[in-house]
Structure 1
Amino acid sequence: MNQHIAIDIGASSGRVVAASLAAGQLHLREIHRFKNDFTEKDGHMYWDIEYLSQEIVKGLQLAKQQGIEACTLGIDTWAVDYVLLDDAGSRMHEVYAYRDHRTEDVPDRLHQRISREIVYAKTGIQEQRFNTLYQLFAHGPNELSRASSILLVPDYLYYRLSGRRMNERTNASTTQLLNVKTGDFDEDLLGLLQLRKDQFASLQEPGEFLGSILPDLVHAHRLPDCQLVVVPTHDTASAVVGVPIQINRPWAYLSSGTWSLLGVERDRPIDTLEAMRCNYTNEWGAYGTYRFLKNIMGMWMIQEVRRELGEEHSYAELTELASLVPAYRSLVPCNAARFLSPKRMILEMQRFCQESGQPVPMSPGELARCIFDSLALTYYNAMQELNRLHGQVIEVLHIVGGGSQNALLCQLTADVLEIEVQAGPSESTALGNIAVQMISSKVLPSLQEARRCIAHAFPPVVYMPQGMPDRESVLQRWQQVQDVTTQ
């Protein structure tokens, strides 16, 4: 079978992408694109999971109308968010969005019962207040005890298509409930939440076949004959599969979307106390790998600024306006909790700059420049830590995902990090999703060959360091900005 469809859904948009391989050339085309966002109801933030299911069906209908009669199909989304199912297999609750405020004090409450050090030693997963561990703790045991199954968002979308329940391993690792040594759910952490292991489905590896779409669904909506392949359902895991590695030098990746994930691909975790203190995580990847990475706020900030400006400027226009503003004029600590889900992002940025004695960004260009400069400097900090923890000096950074199209940010990153940056492809997540389908279908023989095909079809844009005026002064000011955050 040489038709493959990736359902790739991020925090701000989703897409249905088709691919095929002909004469060694990978061909990709977008069939359907749709918006995604959380909504506020009764003081909480929720995903519209039924809308996402409907958009998947709509995309598959369009695929058939465009001549795809049979294909493989894989689904990836963001991590940590989940669906509770009752005994009848029906959804019990709206699906909380990870930016919901209900978990703000949960880590401190949970760690009164078990230390942060023990949890990290068990799981190798960084502490973030929206991790599934903390979200489930926020429910309370009575509500959780009524759940027959707990599925992460992509697992649930597979379930809606197939009727089969599973927990895919790369995404399951982000729950902070899997034991990094045993490779299974940790009994102590389940006990802390008063959960049973049988409330989770069996763990599935990327590359396994799940079966066909439900016949009734196919007939009712006139869908293609789709064989479901379990891909790396965590979008970052798929994005890393889609990194076009063609070098023998030490490399790292930066998956740049709503979040920026900077890390390396390893065959074993780094679960030391120093890694924990630096807030690095060991998420599981495809084919027995680990993604040792750090979460950075990413393009969320510019997405929010654009939204608050009434979307009167495109992202390309905001980048162009930013390029006209003096560099490193105003800086903000992107990973500070105040920027995770503020009511008004622009006002929060302006308040921080005023509090820290910096020029207050006012114009669209100044706001965008503040974000891009601050992101590049945040990448610098993370890379310094990564080189030390990984024990190898990174020489090439691959930036993939939507942020790879931002030439200003890519050049800033090369300049600040003083290393070569290779940018692209922007659709690395969909490509990684499809690569696993092709390997499972024996269209491609290996991950190495899949990455070669991706590099050939989507050659990256190379950015070399061009120097950074007043480097030491900028880094000193950046340290002062971070010191303000910790006071």
Structure 2
Amino acid sequence: MTAGTVAAVDLGATSGRVIVGTVGPDRLDTTTVARFPNDPVRLADGLHWNLVGMYGAVLGGLRDALRQTPGIASIGVDSWAVDYGLLTRSRLLGEPFHYRDERTARGVESVHERMPHAELFGRNGLQFLPFNTLYQFAAEDPELLQLAEHALLIPDLVGYWLTGSARTERTNASTTGLLRADTGEWDDELIDALGFPRSVLAPLIAPGETLGHLSDDVAATLGLSAGFRPAVTAVGSHDTASAVVAVPMSSPDAAYISCGTWGLVGVEADRPILTDAARAAKFTNEGGVDGRIRLLRNVMGLWILSEAVRGWQREGHPIDLPTLLDSAEEVSSPVAVFDVDDPRFLPPGDMPARITAWCEEHGVAAPRTRAEFARSIIESLAQAFADAAHEAGRVGGVDVKVIHIVGGGALNELLCQRTADRAGVPVLAGPVEATALGNILVQARAAGILSGSLESLRDLVARTHRPRRHEPRA
């Protein structure tokens, strides 16, 4: 096969997209067919995702994609990790909670009373993050959890609605805290010890396997002709797993940063790193495509800047982000470098006020203008990225000589340059659409459009989406 087309459904924490990919041995083109906002909703019991509304937008995007490109062979779905929907008799038991909802705190206490994090890390290999799925399960209404027939992570839930097949994709399952890092299977002993119903966890499926085909009801909704039912293929459904597929790494001495709302900073390993040093350094072992391990640390990411901009806009100040970043680059005086991973920056709220409070507590001069706040955020992220990349290399046995930044953060030239400066190694920026590209590449290989190893897929990305190079400056 010389070329073929597939469709990627890429759901992010702030927006979703349907993207058509045309793929061949020397071709990797994308067309964004639909883009729609992903706005959380605060209800009486907490912060939720409007997943039903987003699914409606997904169907609309797929309808347009299939009308514009009738020969689409496959559809793949990726999204953020850890969040899930509860189903009984195919009905959704309320909109899924948002991982930034405050309820997770009581879940942490409940889990750690039964098993401390050091023991958990030896089993699941995960950095402590208070929103991991096992803490959310522990914070869930026990009666509701017992009532559920399935607890499906977000991309698995969308896949279920498309096909009627309930499976849990492995890369995303690895973020739940309920998968053993050494075997890649559900940890039945841990699930039982925490008192969760094992029955809600669906059988596992690997990237590249076929989840099913579009159901007749969905096909009718999309206006498909009789007998035409594109496959729904499991991809690296954790968006970072898909993004790492499309990092154009040509050297083993490389670190990656998948930078958007979060900054996922790490190296690729062939086995989990479950050492005390990895746990103390707050690294996590997450599943990757083709059985690779993503040894990484979650850094707060561009969420802090985005939330600061939203706050200023709510106050009536129109903010143009490129203009703000240009002003930030012109700031010549030193600015505060703060700890971006301080828990105060996790929930929505007034980021400039929180940065000011952090500075006052640590005896550091706080920014005063919006340009200084933006520069302070960029410098703080760059330092966190540089530190995490080199530490990932030390923990994972990789001599980091280059850092790849993919995702939306690759467009932020100031952030890329300052990361190179602070890390002392070149930064290669791009592709921006790495998550969608990784989703598309796994589907294309499964459909027989491409063949070969992960390295051959990355070589195609490097040839068709050349990154921008940022050399470190003194």
TM-score by length of 2: 0.95
Give the structure 1 partner of residue 142 of structure 2: 141
- AA in 2 matched with 1:11: A
Change (3 A) 1:3 1:387: closer
SS in 2 for 1:94: coil
In structure 1, the partner of 2:242 is: 238
| Residue in structure 2 matched with residue 450 of structure 1 by the alignment | 457
The 5 A counterparts of 1:45-444 are 45-86=47-88, 88-223=89-224, 225-245=229-249, 247-310=250-313, 312-326=318-332, 328-444=334-450
Moved more, 302-311 or 173-182: 302-311
Deviation string 1:38-93 (CA, Å, 9 cap, x unpaired) is 1211151100010111011010111133233433110000000011111x111112
Native 8 Å contact 2:108 2:130 kept in 1: yes
Which amino acid letter does the alignment assign opposite residue 31 of structure 1?
V
Identity among equivalent pairs (%):
38
| Per-residue deviation, residues 270-300 of structure 1 (Å, max 9, x unmatched) | 0111111111000010101100000000010
How many residue pairs are counted as aligned between the two chains? Answer: 465
SS of corresponding position for 2:30: strand
Structure 1 contact 136–193 (Cα < 8 Å) conserved: no
Kept in 2, the 8 Å contact 1:141–1:194? The answer is no
Give the letter aligned to residue 425 of structure 2: I
**Which residue in 1 is equivalent to 2:468?**
461
User: Structure 1 residues 252 and 281, CA, compared in 2 at 3 Å: closer, same or farther?
Assistant: same
Which secondary structure state, in structure 2, belongs to the residue aligned with residue 175 of structure 1?
coil
Distance in 2 of aligned mates of 1:267 and 1:392 = 12
Superposition deviation, residue 357 in structure 1? 2.8
One-letter amino acid of the structure 2 residue matched with residue 201 of structure 1: A
* Distance change >3 Å, CA 41–CA 362, structure 1 → 2: farther
Long gaps (5+) in structure 1: 468-487
Distance 1:420 1:327 in 2: 25
> Residues 392 and 454 from structure 1, CA distance in 2 versus in 1: closer, same or farther, beyond 3 angstroms?
closer
Q: Partners in 2 of 1:241 and 1:63 — Cα distance? A: 23
Shift of 1:342: 4.3
- Corresponding letter in the other structure for 2:442: V
1:328 offset after TM fit, Å?
Answer: 4.1
**CA offsets 1:212-268 (integer angstroms, 9 cap, x no match):** 1112221233157421110010000000001112x3350111000000000011110
CA contact (8 A) 2:311 2:349 kept: no
RMSD value, Cα: 1.6
CA contact (8 A) 1:141 1:193 kept: no
CA distance in 1, matches of 2:45, 2:321: 30
Deviations 1:379-427 (A, max 9, x none): 2321342232112320011100000111100000000000011000000
Q: Does the CA contact (< 8 Å) of 1:69 and 1:225 recur in 2?
A: no
Q: Structure 2: which 5+ residue stretches go unaligned?
A: none
Structure 2 Cα separation of the partners of residues 63 and 152 of structure 1: 25
How many angstroms does 1:19 deviate by? 1.0
* Whole-Å separation in 1 of the counterparts to 2:140 and 2:122: 25
User: 1:130-173: CA deviations, max 9, x gaps?
Assistant: 00010000115332111111100110000111111000000001
- TM value normalised by structure 1: 0.92
For residues 23 and 96 of structure 1, do their structure 2 counterparts lie closer, same or farther at Cα, with a shift above 3 Å needed?
closer
Go from structure 1 to structure 2 and tell me whether the alpha carbon gap of 1:419 and 1:60 turns closer, same or farther (over 3 Å shift): same
Q: Distance in 2 between matches of 1:34 and 1:327?
A: 39
1:18 aligns with 2:20: yes
Q: Which one-letter code corresponds to 1:14 in the other structure? A: G
2:239 aligned partner, one-letter code: D
